Amino acid sequence: MKIIVAEHFGICFGVRDAIAQAQALAQEAPLTILGELVHNPIVREQLRAQGVREQASGDVAQTSRVMITAHGASDKRRDALSKSGLVFADGTCPLVRYAHQQLKRLVHAGYFPVVIGLANHVEVRGLVGDFADAFVINESADIRNLPVRSRYGIISQTTQSIDRVRALLAEIARAYPSAEIRFADTVCKPTKDRQLALKKIDQGGGGNRRRWRSAEQQHTSFSRNLSRRGQASIAHRTS
């Protein structure tokens, strides 16, 4: 049996840094993560063993200090945390932070905010949380419900397939030919690298298996079979 390992795989730097941050904070005082810090069950179990708690949406924090995950949060959410008296640490990935900045820039320039991604994903909820009229597009069927505006400012969830994002952009342009569309590419480089690595493997194998998975699904798959190499990398970064 031949096993082919992709050139790029596993946990990205933003999540690795957030894990390291959570481990360091947990050594100082009790810590509650606002949601899942990472979708990797092995890493989550390691964090629980170190005393790190997880708080589901709507639950009351179990500690006085909490941490925002690498997926980020809206400014409205941050303000609410501050007013609640909780001390919060920020584990937002720099590339997610960039997506927030780009959406704000587009809105301030007068564009109607549109995010390509999964509406119920924590990252997307954070992106649109400060813009009540923001519209989320996940598939072609959503485009017909997009409010008619003269200018659209579009970004995407950082873990979307860039090919899929570009295809939806083309559909939006065809559906609203008179509108001005400005797109800020916020698909992160680690995601693009993994997607390109998968394409190279598929092309090298000569197969017709074109069932591309989103980067979020890739994380889930890798989490089930986390390699020793990945575990050693985490341990090295957090030691």
Q: Which of 2, 23, 67 is nearest to 201 (CA)?
A: 2
Ramachandran angles phi, psi of 130, nearest 5°:
-100, 5
What is the C-alpha to C-alpha distance for residues 155 and 231, in angstroms, rounded to an integer?
33
Catalytic status, residue 123: yes
Of the candidates 7, 36, 123, 180, the residue annotated as catalytic is: 123
What is the C-alpha to C-alpha distance for residues 214 and 73, in angstroms, rounded to an integer?
21
Q: At what angle do helices 189-205 and 162-175 cross, to 10 degrees?
A: 100
What is the C-alpha to C-alpha distance for residues 62 and 55, in angstroms, rounded to an integer?
8
Active site residues: 123
